[in-house]
């Protein structure tokens, strides 16, 4: 695929039921970021190169460029979020766009308005981009079929969270130079994690070897189809160059996916005893201190968690820029 990010094809099957996308077909030139699966390695590298130049802007006192002045970006969040929402908000503002935040609390979403109607309403404002987070897998793809705006998937149910994966790749590339041949273990609740899915796709596309590890109840049977290995234990964790720890949702504990919190911690917590020197630790946040990660590990120099968050703004600026301004030939903004 040679477009800067990806063109949504109206014929591409969607994983969600209901109204098919493409009833209001997006213009052929309109580009979205729905899934890492739509990106080539060259696409990813172009975004990361752009993000490097925006990271430089973030280091200045005036952290702002006029690239999207007078353009409108809608943040449409149907789930609670601090990091992703504020990261996109700052990205939009540092590009000088006008941002409108819509959250499910205090909006017509509370009146039971359908996603389609909400999107069509917001599209009437002619936004340059709609950033959508939804508890439903496939929501971002559907939105792309209902609007002329560029759509950025900020997390759709258990499906994908592509900007998280891009910022994780950005963080690792900065630290290691390249992901080629790097061994990455993704540890925890893979089944319910959109971050796991996007990151397996992104890490493997960039040349890394990925192993997922966690309780068998929390690893999908067919996960190897995504190009990774799977294991129920951390026995061979010393193979990993990078340990990517997933958030353990408290509610899973009461759903009998895990015998008990105590047992989960005993078998899968990443801490000083399990880690070897030089192994890097990542986490998409927010962390449950003392559950999937020990407090000491969170604050250790092996953890890249702060760098991940920091990368978020630059990478999201780059995604918005590539979708709305970018040309196929990468050039400094």
Give residues in contact with its own copies (CB under 8 A).
23, 58-64, 69-72, 74, 77, 80-83, 85-87, 89-90, 93-94, 98, 100, 102-114, 117-118, 120-126, 250, 285-289, 299, 305-307, 309-310, 312-313
Facing residues of 98 across strands? 72
Nearer to its own copies, 114 or 233 (CB): 114
Nearer to its own copies, 209 or 283 (CB): 283
Facing residues of 103 across strands? 77
Contact 324/71 with Cβ under 8 angstroms? Answer: yes
Q: How long, in residues, is the chain?
A: 333
Nearer to its own copies, 94 or 161 (CB): 94
Nearer to its own copies, 79 or 183 (CB): 79
Contact 294/68 with Cβ under 8 angstroms? Answer: no
Nearer to its own copies, 210 or 311 (CB): 311
- State phi, psi for 248 to the nearest 5 degrees: -90, 110
CB of 113 to its own copies, least distance (A): 4
Q: How far apart are CA 130 and CA 181, in angstroms?
A: 36
Nearer to its own copies, 83 or 136 (CB): 83
CB of 233 to its own copies, least distance (A): 28
H-type alpha helices, the chain: 41-58, 83-94, 115-123, 139-146, 162-176, 194-205, 250-253, 261-268, 295-298, 305-324
CB of 284 to its own copies, least distance (A): 11
CB of 40 to its own copies, least distance (A): 28
Kind of pairing between the strands at 229-231 and 129-134:
unpaired
CA 133 to chain centre: 11
CB of 269 to its own copies, least distance (A): 17
- Number of C-alpha atoms within 13 angstroms, CB side, residue 179? 26
Query: For the chain, how far is it from start to end, CA to CA, in angstroms?
Result: 23
- State phi, psi for 292 to the nearest 5 degrees: -75, -20
CB of 204 to its own copies, least distance (A): 27
Radius of gyration in angstroms for the set of CA atoms belonging to the chain, rounded to a whole number: 19
Rounded to whole angstroms, what are the CA distances from 317 to 87, 109, 283?
9, 27, 21
Helices then strands, each counted (H, E), the chain: 10, 9
Nearer to its own copies, 240 or 291 (CB): 291
CB of 32 to its own copies, least distance (A): 19
Three-state DSSP class for 132? strand
CB of 81 to its own copies, least distance (A): 6
Nearer to its own copies, 126 or 272 (CB): 126
CB of 42 to its own copies, least distance (A): 28
Nearer to its own copies, 115 or 196 (CB): 115
- All residues at 6 or more sequence positions from 9 whose CB lies less than 8 Å from its CB, including other chains: none
């Amino acid at each position: 695929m040679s477009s800067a990010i990806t063109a949504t094809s109206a014929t591409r099957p969607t994983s969600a039921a209901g109204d098919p996308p493409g009833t209001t077909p997006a213009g052929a030139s309109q580009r979205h970021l729905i899934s890492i699966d739509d990106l080539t390695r060259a696409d990813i590298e172009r975004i990361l190169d752009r993000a490097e130049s925006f990271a430089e802007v973030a280091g200045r006192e005036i952290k702002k460029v006029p690239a999207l002045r007078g353009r409108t970006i809608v943040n449409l969040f149907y789930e609670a979020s601090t990091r992703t929402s504020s990261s996109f908000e700052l990205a939009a503002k540092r590009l000088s766009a006008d941002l409108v935040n819509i959250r499910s609390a205090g909006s017509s979403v509370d009146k039971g308005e359908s996603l389609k109607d909400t999107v069509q309403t917001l599209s009437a404002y002619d936004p340059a981009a709609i950033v959508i987070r939804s508890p439903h897998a496939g929501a971002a793809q559907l939105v792309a079929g209902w609007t002329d705006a560029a759509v950025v998937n900020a997390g759709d149910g258990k499906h994908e969270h592509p900007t998280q994966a891009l910022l994780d790749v950005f963080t690792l590339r900065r630290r290691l130079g390249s992901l080629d041949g790097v061994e990455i273990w993704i540890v925890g609740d893979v089944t319910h994690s959109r971050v796991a899915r996007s990151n397996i796709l992104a890490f493997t596309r960039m040349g890394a070897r990925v192993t997922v590890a966690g309780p068998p109840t929390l690893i999908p049977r067919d996960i190897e189809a995504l190009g990774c290995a799977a294991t129920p234990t951390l026995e061979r964790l010393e193979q990993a160059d990078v340990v990517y720890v997933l958030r353990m949702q408290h509610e899973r504990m009461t759903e009998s996916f895990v015998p008990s919190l105590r047992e989960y911690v005993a078998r899968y917590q990443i801490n000083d005893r399990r880690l070897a020197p030089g192994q890097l630790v990542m986490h998409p946040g927010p962390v449950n201190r003392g559950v999937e990660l020990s407090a000491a590990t969170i604050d250790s120099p092996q953890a890249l968690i702060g760098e991940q968050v920091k990368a978020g703004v630059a990478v999201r600026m780059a995604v918005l820029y590539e979708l709305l301004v970018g040309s196929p030939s990468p050039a400094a903004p």
